[in-house]
Amino acid sequence: MVGDRAHEDEAIGDTTVDEAEIAQIVNHLYGADGMAHMQGGGELDTTYEIAVSRTERLRYRLNVTSTRSSRRSGVNIVLRPIPGLPPSLEEQLVEPGIMEAFHPRNGMVIVSGGTGSGKSTLIAGMTVAKLFDPNGHYDIIEGAAPVEFLLDRVKSPNSTINQSEIPRDLPTFEQFIRGCMRREPTDIIVGECRDSVTMSAAIQAAISGHALTTTIHANDAALTMQRIACLCPLAERENLISAVAQSLRLVVNQKLTRSLDGKRTALREFLAFDRNLRNRFLETDPTQWPALTRRAIEEQGQSFAQAIDKALRDGRISEETAAHELREEA
């Protein structure tokens, strides 16, 4: 199945592909050991490139997962096109409050949301903005699974970026983060904090003088804070919770919804953390962080209800879409 999520998928044929042909396809897309990796119980989540010319390449996000059917075992292959560069923050209609807070000198920036909510695109837009900043002197290192946007093509006046793919270049995010600590970056981007080991390493990096940006799967900002606390390993939880409270700079939760032009537009809930807010979290039991987050968003951030209302007033979404999204929030 190949398609843009903004459009309906289209059937391109009904021919049955046999096992040998599947193996050829998977090995071509991934490499000689692709099918062996699948047969070992793994999945493939990487990128695939087609060279159109010496200077132009088409890039796709590739996912291959084993499946079971009435006939035999098989695979599901999904290719999603990746633009050469991400849309700018202006093109993504990123709010001023986020624009002011996404490039701290140190600490953590968390972008959360569900699968396919545009988290990687938003972070890539932030990264390009840093690279284009004539007054910035950023040394950015990114580890992602996979690397979607290859940003070495961005001609930065004063900054650099190096990108590694997990697990092709390095086996785990933990090893990537620990390696970064020896490379003296200003900014570290971790594709996803999906387990306690990665979260622990990310927090240590954030309190060591680096700016660390990462993603977490969560449905809103309050649940993002709950997820952060839950990902801290139990043996180190007290110390890590304290470190998180001191290091947080910005939490953004993003959703995509249908826009009036037939495409999708982003709705964002966000909260920027100043010193006073960090102290409030430091003094609050982590079980109460979701409630504190909701209060803080109403006081000094942007809620989804506010984002929906703004999108409606700007003419980006219909009244029906706005009502649906508000019901979802309720």
pLDDT at 329 (0 to 100): 85
Band of residue 12 on the pLDDT scale cut at 50, 70, 90: low
Mean pLDDT, the chain, rounded, equals 90
- Per-residue pLDDT tens over the stretch 55-75: 788 888 888 888 877 766 778
- Per-residue pLDDT tens over the stretch 108-154: 999 999 988 999 999 999 999 999 999 999 999 999 988 989 999 89
114 Cβ neighbours under 8 A, 6+ residues apart: 217, 219, 255
Band of residue 172 on the pLDDT scale cut at 50, 70, 90: very high
Band of residue 8 on the pLDDT scale cut at 50, 70, 90: low
Which letter does DSSP use for residue 97 in this model? H
Nearest alpha carbon to residue 86 among 132, 120, 54:
120
**pLDDT above 50: residue 316:** yes
**pLDDT above 80: residue 13:** no
**pLDDT above 50: residue 35:** yes
Domains of the chain, with CATH numbers?
19-82 (no CATH), 96-329 (3.40.50.300)
- CB-CB contact of 220 with 252 (8 Å): no
Cα distance from N-terminal residue to C-terminal residue, the chain: 34
Global confidence as pTM: 0.86
Three-class SS state of 57? strand
Taking residues 181-194, report their average pLDDT.
93
Amino acid at 40: G
Taking residues 268-279, report their average pLDDT.
97
197 Cβ neighbours under 8 A, 6+ residues apart: 172, 174, 233
HSE-up of residue 169 (Cα within 13 Å, Cβ side): 16
Band of residue 26 on the pLDDT scale cut at 50, 70, 90: confident
Say how many residues make up the chain. Answer: 330
- Per-residue pLDDT tens over the stretch 209-241: 999 999 999 999 999 999 999 999 888 889 999
Question: What span, in angstroms and rounded, lies between the C-alpha atoms of 99 and 155?
Answer: 21
- CB-CB contact of 227 with 217 (8 Å): yes
Between strands 248-258 and 264-272, the pairing is antiparallel
- Per-residue pLDDT tens over the stretch 282-301: 999 999 999 999 999 999 99
Three-class SS state of 186? coil
